[in-house]
Amino acid sequence: MKYAIIDFRTTMEEKYSLKNLGLEVLVCPPSPLLYKAVCGHPDMLLHIIDSKTIMVHKDMDKNFVEILKTLDFDVVFSSNSLKENYPENIILNSISLPKLFIHNLKHTDNNLLSYMRNKISINVKQGYTKCSTAIVSKNSVMTSDKTIAKALIKEDMDVLLLPPGDILLPGLNYGFIGGCCGLIDENSMAFYGDLNYYAFGKEVLNFLKKYDVEPIFLKKGKLIDRGSLFIVNN
């Protein structure tokens, strides 16, 4: 079974779209430790270690932890608690690729770092690393952050660098490309919103086509940053 881990503010329309893709929806409980705009964003609250292991922030809602365990996921905890302000709010907001781990390593949770020892760790200035980056394949990403793009190009990654903006994030000026989408499988990527309403949609569509990734729009209208769409299998 495949599960989609989503923000609690995800609309019913978006949930139905996910269910129509054969996904079960897991609503990530918000944290009062974070400010309202991102308090329910999965990429702030947890990190997918691998297909069986999920790291959650140490104060995660106990019922949600039990649900994950009931579904046979191994749940591990961050060593630190989240706090409202940067950099204490970005301890899990990092990118894991098969061989690479990318984050502002000075602020990565120590327990998360311990799970990434077998990967090449790449330090970037951008602490909201996952928010800023959408993984397209093991060798390609889209990002709005120049420091992430520069670092990954050095690792022979194919990077689509997008201008910031034109993505909704209620409560803040704008959201990020990584926060509005996620791979369903290696050949399809779902978006909260529709790329045809995005200023740089053509560039994204061409990049996805290059890697045989089909875009799926969970609703019509502008892209909205809901803290990444994480898909997990048990």
Q: How much of the chain, in percent, has pLDDT values that exceed 70?
A: 100
For 182, the enclosing helix (H) or strand (E) is strand 181-185
CA 26/CA 3 separation, integer angstroms: 7
Helices (H), the chain: 12-20, 42-45, 62-70, 110-115, 146-153, 201-210
Which CATH number applies to 2-233? 3.75.10.10
Q: What is the mean pLDDT of residues 87-104?
A: 97
pLDDT tens sequence across 155-196? 999 999 999 999 999 999 999 999 999 999 999 999 999 999
Q: Give the tens place of pLDDT for each residue, 206-231.
A: 999 999 999 999 999 999 999 999 99
Every domain of the chain and the residues it spans: 2-233
User: Quick one: tokens of 104?
Assistant: 């502002």
